[in-house]
Chains A and B, each alone.
Chain A
Amino acid sequence: MAGQVAIGSRSGLRSALPLLLPAYLWLTVAIFLPLSAMVFFSFMTELPLSGKAWAFTLDNYTAFFSQGLYLTLLLASLRLGLEVTLWCIVIGYPAAYVLAKVLKGRSREAIFLLVILPFWSNGLVRIFSWAMVLREGGILDTALNAVLPFKINIDLMYSYPAVIIGLVHSYVPYMVLTCYLTLQAIDDSLIEAGRSLGASRLQMLKRVIIPLSMPGLVAGAALIFVPVVGSFMEPRILGGRTGTFYGTVIEDQFVAVFNWPLGAALSFILLAVVLAILALAAPVLRRAA
């Protein structure tokens, strides 16, 4: 469509290059070369800086597989990712459905904006705000004790549920957004057609609406699962001691232990896992496009 210049021609590239080069050069220097460097360094004993002797090694990777700790933590992070994703589906999908198919007109647009607005605000601050709510003597504790006739102690702070709550809060707008976009694209006449053929609401949901919104569900799941597996700030703030995950271990290698080659290897393993997950999700997403 855009082919004002002969399609696929060299001259197209020649005209495009000056416009493309600066952006892609920047991406190369700040993203693609660093990612390659990370792979490279992950096979080294030491960083080749400050004159230290270094050599190529597989130790960083054998460390991952021989020390059960890293594998355990990776599994814990994957589980965390899975749980958060599931909660986001359970909470986000019905909300997206209500927004796309129940609410109408201007109120829908405004509410939709309200739902996804927090997503574009500072994640760190939002995690911190949960600390206010969840800690002992915090708002949840105080409020519940004011209402309930008996004394209970709510101290979710520094616990696994706290991490889950904080992460779900951070990522559920993603699920609402992606599901809303696919749900909204489903023509209302499809739902009417199904009902005219005698299908109940539940049957329509199961056989038409959910299958048709699958790309949104999968996109949302991938967009949530991937960053949650690599999260470290959220578990640190809300999980305290129980908040040790794969991401926090990588962080430690860079800011506390200063074993960068190991950190690079751990990062690369995470990257491989992430790419595998995205590759799994890709067919569903491509089918939608």
Chain B
Amino acid sequence: MATTRILEWIGRLYIGLLLAFLYLPIIIMALMSFNASPFYQLPFEWTTEWYASLWQNDQLISATWNSLEIAIITTVISVVLGSAASLALYRYDFPGKKFLQALLFPPIAIPWLITGTAMLIFFFGVGIGRGLFAILLGHVALALPYVIVVVSARLQTFAPELEEAARSLGANQWQVTRRVTLPWIMPGVIAGGLFAFAVSFDQFVVSYFLSTPGQTTLPVEIYAAIRKGFTPEINAVSTIIIVVSMALMLLTARFFKFGGEK
């Protein structure tokens, strides 16, 4: 009994340490974005000047707009195409289905460095070149497998008899989809959309290889700034980015259980 209690407390302490390891650097970075010293010197003096100066940084602002625009378009396209594909994979059986499902894993499993450089070579070769359009092409391709996997997981919990019941009541294929199937998979679709947004908004590697000066996204711009030298301004924009993406994932968690409990 006593040993169980002690082990439990050691376990809790351990998780606490892990959480500290995971969050402390981020918290420190965020704090430094409110520190007056441009060289991160202590003692801490409160200021919001770095956030104010972000507003003056046209390059960062235009990169931010690009990032948002691409993330939103990526979300819309990948949710529509991905949900349609999930439905087809769920509803129909045909030769080669297993192969098509297996094809979803290379884009997830292959390091983005390889995917990104391959896209660069190919888009250049066929004349698409680099820039925002190329970045969008890439982001949708990266997000699609995630959407299909998440929506398919939700569809697994859907009873096919429901579709059959609706048909027996006289609904046609489109009515069945719109009034029975879609409402059921909606949480999956929303979660898939949030995943897609996160994949795109936080994407650095692929955007890095496909961007050109002026046609770039926020993470790429931050990377360039970091390599020039650290400034609290980077902390400020990083803090904004991390707050946005964490808030997004908390939202996702509401629609999609990671824990595996059904």
Closest 4 pairs between A and B when the two form their complex, measured CB to CB: A230-B111, A30-B141, A34-B122, A19-B88
B82 at the interface (CB under 8 A from A): yes
CB-nearest residue of chain A relative to B257?
Answer: A109
| Shortest CB distance B181–A (Å) | 12
Q: Let me know if A12 and B93 touch, CB within 8 A.
A: yes
B51 to chain A, nearest CB (A): 16
CB of A118 within 8 A of CB of B26, answer: yes
* Also in contact, A31 and B238, with CB within 8 A (given A114-B19, A115-B22, A270-B111): no
Name the one of A4, A129, A229, A270 contacting B238, with C-beta atoms under 8 angstroms.
A129
Q: Quick check: which of A20-28, A61-69, A148-156, A207-215 contacts chain B, the rest being far away?
A: A20-28
| Interface pair A13/B111, CB less than 8 Å apart | no
Q: What distance in Å separates the Cβ of A120 from its nearest Cβ neighbour in chain B?
A: 4
Most central of A41, A95, A124 by chain B CB within 10 Å:
A124
A38 close to chain B: CB less than 8 A: yes
State whether A112 touches B258 (Cβ < 8 A).
yes
Cβ contact within 8 Å between B23 and A34? no
A74 within 8 A of B: no
Q: Which of the residues B88, B138, B148, B219 comes within 8 Å of A30, measured between beta carbons?
A: B138
Q: Is the CB of B118 within 8 A of A35?
A: yes
Q: Interface size on B (CB < 8 Å)? A: 94
A residues 115-155 touching B (CB-CB < 8 Å): 115-118, 120-126, 128-133, 137-139, 142
* Complex: A30 Cα to B29 Cα, angstroms: 35
Binding site for A on B (CB under 8 A): 7-8, 11-12, 14-15, 18-19, 21-26, 28-29, 32, 40-42, 77, 81-82, 84-85, 87-96, 100, 103, 106-107, 109-115, 117-125, 137-138, 140-141, 144-145, 148, 160, 163-164, 198, 201-202, 204-205, 208-209, 219, 222-223, 226-227, 230, 234-235, 238, 241-242, 245-246, 248-250, 252-253, 258-261
The listed residue with most A CB atoms (<10 A of its CB), out of B29, B90, B219, B222, is B29
Contact yes or no, A133 B111, CB < 8 A? no
Partner of A237, one of B90, B112, B119, B226: B226
B49 shortest CB reach to chain A, Å: 18
Shortest distance from the beta carbon of A157 to any chain B beta carbon, whole Å: 10
Binding site for B on A (CB under 8 A): 1-10, 12-13, 15-17, 19-20, 22-24, 26-27, 29-35, 37-38, 41, 47-49, 91, 94-95, 97-99, 102-103, 109, 111-118, 120-126, 128-133, 137-139, 142, 169, 172-173, 177, 180-181, 184-185, 222-223, 226-227, 229-233, 236-237, 247, 250-251, 254-255, 260, 263-264, 267, 270-271, 274, 278
